[in-house]
Structure 1
């Protein structure tokens, strides 16, 4: 369904369910937005059976974040009829590595551009071209992912918010509601993968 559409999901008769959020500024998001034209699209289950089965297998049996990510990306690529694009420009890769090293700290575009020796305007263009989204959106996605990883390990909302660079749990909650229409507590994943993440390292 389109971005920011008010909706509800009834999973009372499902053995399991998956909700995939696709950033509308990525190539996949743009392709889906263009195809759907702001309307809800219903898909035949037979067309998705193999990919849905692979996603369930990754979640229930393989139980690694990489396996789930790979299966979800394959499903999104099929739905959007796009080929996944991985950033390859060394300047963008260096910028991404710099963002990771900052561990959730908010950074200005000008500061990141200076790290890779580009003007802010040129860096903005190159980053969007390579990643499909502005730096601010990309950085926000990474912070939200970090918060969810911490929540999956069993930590509380306040600690997850602080570690991901949000002012407090209320700030994290507001951001989640703006981005996804849900509170972070509703998106705490439970199940095989989260159980594995909580298990002590051997």
Structure 2
């Protein structure tokens, strides 16, 4: 697995494997990718899916999926993990996130936008290139969306973004529902509803994923698993490992092995 240097909250990877690659898991980002070699198979929304070279994979935030090579030839694919707020920003955060019902699509414009941003994993894309790709990707997702996007009020948008900023600033600390109610001025249930419409996940899942992002940064500089768990806000290493597997389909130790090429 090749992991490009994260850029402005955007992660890009290339994966190569035979057999089963990932156990069931879910991200809080859009996971968008290109099948480059072999047959990419995965279970998504209750059905087995298959993608051949030339197809685009579109996984909505918080949807459980796994991943495997569909033939003995093995599999090569590249993915970009885009924070939902980047997709929402293209529409000025005025609408709920676009939901694409079919996770395997043939869309030349979307394919090219992804190819442009995934073509070079050795260097970070500059701001203009990334912004252009995000705009083209968001436009294609909206065109492919099977459910019309609902409007979001300005009050709800401000509340959600305030809650998001609060969580990001305190991701290694305890964040309570009372805290979010106090800074947003709306009750926890309405906040959870609007948070999911704009960011594709719940406030709790958003908090856990920010902790996991911090944990990955710490592991990438050689921090041990126990120290990483504590620094990122998890109660212990077992708690950290459980959430990591749910989010990425493998243990933290296995992720480190694949990232570094070690055994």
Scaled by the length of structure 1, the TM-score of the pair is: 0.63
Relative to structure 1, the CA distance from residue 63 to residue 163 in structure 2 (aligned partners, 3 Å threshold; closer, same or farther) is farther
Query: Which has more helix, going by share of residues?
Result: 1
Question: How far apart, CA to CA, are the structure 2 residues paired with 1:20 and 1:173?
Answer: 23
Relative to structure 1, the CA distance from residue 93 to residue 47 in structure 2 (aligned partners, 3 Å threshold; closer, same or farther) is closer
Name 1:27's counterpart in structure 2: 97
Name 2:78's counterpart in structure 1: 18
Specify which of 25, 49, 68 is matched with residue 8 of structure 1.
68
Deviation at residue 70 of structure 1 after TM alignment: 6.1
Specify which of 186, 189, 192 is matched with residue 254 of structure 2.
186
Specify which of 57, 76, 94 is matched with residue 162 of structure 2.
94
Q: Within the alignment, does 1:48 sit opposite 2:111 as a pair?
A: yes
Question: How far apart, CA to CA, are the structure 2 residues paired with 1:123 and 1:74?
Answer: 27
Deviation at residue 140 of structure 1 after TM alignment: 1.6
Name 2:219's counterpart in structure 1: 151
Question: How far apart, CA to CA, are the structure 2 residues paired with 1:155 and 1:63?
Answer: 27
Q: Within the alignment, does 1:60 sit opposite 2:128 as a pair?
A: no
Question: How far apart, CA to CA, are the structure 2 residues paired with 1:152 and 1:68?
Answer: 26
Relative to structure 1, the CA distance from residue 181 to residue 13 in structure 2 (aligned partners, 3 Å threshold; closer, same or farther) is closer
Query: 5+ unaligned residues in a row in structure 2: which ranges?
Result: 1-41, 45-62, 84-95
SS of the residue 1:61 aligns to: coil
Scaled by the length of structure 2, the TM-score of the pair is: 0.51
SS of the residue 1:105 aligns to: coil
Contact 2:97 2:200 in 1 (8 A): yes
Deviation at residue 9 of structure 1 after TM alignment: 4.2
Aligned-CA RMSD value: 4.2
Query: Which has more strand, going by share of residues?
Result: 2
Contact 1:113 1:120 in 2 (8 A): yes
Contact 2:114 2:137 in 1 (8 A): no
